[in-house]
Amino acid sequence: MRAMGSSPRIALVFDDELQRRRFAEHVGPGTRVYHVPGGDELVKLAAAHTLDVAVVGVLNRTDQLLPSALREFSTIAPEVAIVGVFESSRPSLDEAADMAQELPAMGFVSRPGARFDYLARRRTPGSPAPTFTSALLTCMDRLPLFGPARLFAVLQALHPSFASSIPEQAGELGLSRRNLERWFQGPDICSAGCLQSVCGAAEAAYLRLVCGLPEREIAPVVGILTRDGVGNPQAVPRTIRSSLRLGLDELRAGGVRALLGAVEAALRTSRDPVRTPAQWGPDTRYVPQPGVLTVPVEDSVVLMDPARGVQVPLDAFGMDVWPMVTRGAPFAEIVAELAAVRREPTHSVRARLIAWLGELLVLRLIRREPGDLKAANGD
């Protein structure tokens, strides 16, 4: 771990003994380590100005008020770096995402390594956030992502890295890589691999332009490595340009606004950016899969495939769309009718409709029937 003066002072707040031991071993014997049971004790240490870094297990099962304590902690001691350690489970990822939005200066890791060493540095009050995670999560919220695809996206935003294995991460989420990719094919946005690359490049660009890190430090933090597994600083500008379609000079001229624009454009790049995806063509129709039923459940209606045990509740938007699906209305007609009925902008309705239909396509509750077979085959 990178030294922070003669004797770095680190608080470890975990309810998992294995995680606590793993990080204690990583920081090494030259570090003064405080094993802290919960948020109250952490706040007391902050008030006494005895810490440089707080390393916190995101999902603390013994202290439900830890997020509140961290907010107080960050106010009392803004110079102390906070590093959250998350697990690849939905509760942990959701909790980490909430923390990242509330505490933008907080960085996240899943294990010790180069990213942890970078984040575990005493901060200068008023300095920019050490990571682009909060902005990346905002970008993810604007994408039509559901289920495992959303969890995968949150995972990339929390820990952007080119070195992470997608099959391994899919396995941690309980999926094969093929099944994970299916969740991206429904709404026809970028692939899982593209999303990972965009997040890594965005983090690298942010660290260079806003945080002022040299490329030799950025490379290991975001996993831009040689074949031997060591940081490759020469590849940092090339990797940013390849993933974001903008170079460092152009991003420097446009600032964070240009970076956000490049990220959002890259994340929404279709697999075939030259033509509109056939599934969202104006004449494309959607029909229920055989055996799919609408079933009243208490005060709501649920779409259900009894044979596979799959069900999705219909919200008000879904209740408006479903009758059009059952009558085989083409995509353009659904958009126009929804915009008129709901009195909402057409572009907003279209984006929400793509997200809604995309989820049902992935869950195989509906199927696509092209209005123009030639266009659907890409001819």
Q: What is the CATH number of the domain that holds 66?
A: 3.40.50.2300
Residue 202 and residue 167 in one domain: yes
Q: Into how many domains does the chain fold?
A: 2
Residue 137's pLDDT band (cuts 50, 70, 90):
very high
Q: What is the model's pLDDT at position 379?
A: 31
Please report where in the chains the tokens 């770095």 appear, as a residue: 8
Instruction: Give the residue-averaged pLDDT of 236-259.
Output: 93
The mean per-residue pLDDT over the stretch 228-254 comes to 93
- pLDDT tier at 181, thresholds 50, 70, 90: confident
For range 57-64, the mean pLDDT = 90
Looking at the structure, do residues 174 and 246 belong to the same domain, yes or no? yes
Residue 373 banded pLDDT, cuts 50, 70, 90: very low
Mean pLDDT over each residue of the chain, to the nearest integer: 88
Split at pLDDT 50, 70, 90, the class of 83 is very high
**What is the arithmetic mean of pLDDT over 51-58?**
95
Domain shared by 132 and 228, yes or no: yes
Confidence of residue 168 (pLDDT cuts 50, 70, 90): very high
- Answer yes or no: is pLDDT of 3 > 80: no
Residue 247 counted as domain residue: yes
Are 250 and 285 found together in one domain?
A: no
Asked if residue 154 and residue 69 are part of one domain, the reply reads: yes
> Does the pLDDT at position 86 exceed 90?
yes
Mean pLDDT of 334-361: 87
Distance separating alpha carbons of residues 180 and 165, to the nearest angstrom: 13
> Which of these three, 232, 267, 302, is where a domain ends?
267
Task: Specify if 239 maps to a domain.
Answer: yes
Q: Which pLDDT belongs to residue 113?
A: 95
Residue, of 178 and 205, whose pLDDT is higher:
205
26 and 153 in a common domain = yes
Is it the case that residue 263 has pLDDT exceeding 50? yes
Tell whether the model's pLDDT for residue 127 goes beyond 80. Answer: yes
Evaluate whether residue 45 is within a structural domain. Answer: yes
The C-alpha atoms of residue 169 and residue 110 are separated, in whole angstroms, by: 11
Domain end residue (candidates: 242, 267, 292): 267
Report yes or no on whether pTM surpasses 0.85.
no
Place of tokens 């995309």: 358
- Mean pLDDT on 242-258: 92
353: pLDDT strictly greater than 50? yes
d(CA 282, CA 239): 36
Report the side by side order of strands in the sheet with 293-297.
293-297, 300-305, 310-314
Asked which of 108-122, 173-187, 306-320 is least confident by mean pLDDT, the reply is 173-187
Range of the domain at 284: 278-376
Residue 370 in this model has a pLDDT that exceeds 80: no
